[in-house]
Amino acid sequence: MPKVTYFTATSLDGFIADENSSLDWLFETPHGDDEIWLVGGGDLVGQFDDAGLLDEVVAGICPVTLGAGAPLLPRRITSKRMRVIDVLQTGEQVQIRYRIARP
């Protein structure tokens, strides 16, 4: 069975979009390379987790706070199921890779 990985970015306070559903803040944040990955959405990823098909979450955390907006992942995945497997700093962004134990 292929591995399923969720790759996303979030503000420091846990939002993917601001209260106007805008991602403009993401493009204003300095990155360490020439690529920005925006893949999938939280609800879709939650459905994969509900079905027991989510293996990893890769979250890029940017040094900005939005104060309100859309949550990164509108599902509860407890710390008992998540294990940090990698942390990488690129410019001002931190990327954390979590392995997700299947329910």
Q: What pLDDT score was predicted for residue 36?
A: 41
Q: What is the pLDDT of residues 19-57, one digit of tens each?
A: 888 777 766 766 565 544 445 677 777 877 887 878 888
Q: Tell me how far apart the alpha carbons of residues 59 and 84 are, in angstroms, rounded to a whole number.
A: 11
Q: What is the pLDDT of residues 57-84, one digit of tens each?
A: 888 888 998 999 888 888 888 889 999 9
Q: What pLDDT score was predicted for residue 38?
A: 41
Q: What pLDDT score was predicted for residue 50?
A: 85
Q: Which domains are seen in the chain, by residue range? A: 5-100 (3.40.430.10)
Q: Which of 11, 20, 38, 13 is nearest to 92 (CA)?
A: 11
pTM above 0.75, yes or no: no
